[in-house]
Amino acid sequence: MRVEEGFLDCYGYSLPYRFGSPDGGSKVALVLCHGSTLRGMEHELIKFLFENLSSRWPVLAFDIPGFGRAPRVVVEEVDDYLFYRPPLAAVEKANELTGLKAVLIGHSMGGRISLQAASRDGGRLVAGVITLAGLYELPTDPDRMLLLLEDFARFVKVDFKIPLRSLAQQVSKLNPTRRAIESLKVHLLAIEAGREQYGFMRATRYELFRAARCPKTLVLVGGADHKFKGCHGLLLELITNWLEARFGR
């Protein structure tokens, strides 16, 4: 297996990536999208998945702007906050490296932005999506969305060039995850945590899954928390079995 590191271009950002590939042929590549963590692709779950999946499939992990070793994110418009462009850029890089379509695998926020990216790609380079505690709607109440943005601003490397209240109103009106899931055409695997601690995720995940019209599978891991602590091995087994059943090795 070979492993390389580099930078991919994304709308003016230079984003660090890590790419691992097995010696044999594969039918799809995998792109890992981390959640809302300053560790970026160094988060323990993403590292675990990279190390174990890259022995069988080509895998690309990367840092989203504002996280990990990526530059600060500048939010000038609503699309900058929705973050669907970095996964699309990562899919382009994976295709450049492998010539293959990709399955996006996203944890938490990474799952939400993977759904948005896949719905915009339209099946061109994205073959499927796996969300890990990432099937949720952002608040549709502007006041609740504002609280989420204020919390985001406290720990992410971010410069807001748009008033937070205006951004909250735009995001809550867009309802981006609902729009993405309703237009998704590729295979979806949603793996949810039975001990999910975020109420807004518990409250919206099942309705979102019902709204999907694509080929879909939902798995509830009863003993898992939001980070799937202690369940990484089971998570790997679920992902591997689904990938093999849908796409082969």
What mean pLDDT is predicted for residues 149-157? 94
CA–CA separation, 77 and 49 (whole Å): 32
Strand bridging mode 158-160 / 73-75: parallel
- Give the pLDDT confidence score for residue 215 in this predicted structure: 97
What residues pair up with 105 in beta bridges, in sequence order?
A: 32, 130
Which residues span the domain enclosing 58? 2-247
CATH number at residue 235: 3.40.50.1820
Q: Which of 101, 91, 55, 46 is nearest to 246 (CA)?
A: 101
Are the C-beta atoms of residues 19 and 97 closer than 8 Å to each other? yes
Q: What is the pLDDT of residues 186-233, one digit of tens each?
A: 999 999 999 999 998 999 999 999 999 999 999 999 999 999 999 999
Q: What is the pLDDT of residues 5-55, one digit of tens each?
A: 999 999 999 999 999 999 778 899 999 999 999 999 999 999 999 999 999
CA–CA separation, 104 and 118 (whole Å): 8
Task: Please give the C-alpha separations between residue 211 and each of 179, 186, 192, 202, 203, in angstroms, as whole numbers.
Answer: 10, 14, 16, 15, 14
What mean pLDDT is predicted for residues 48-69? 97
CA–CA separation, 172 and 54 (whole Å): 37
Q: How many domains does the chain have?
A: 1
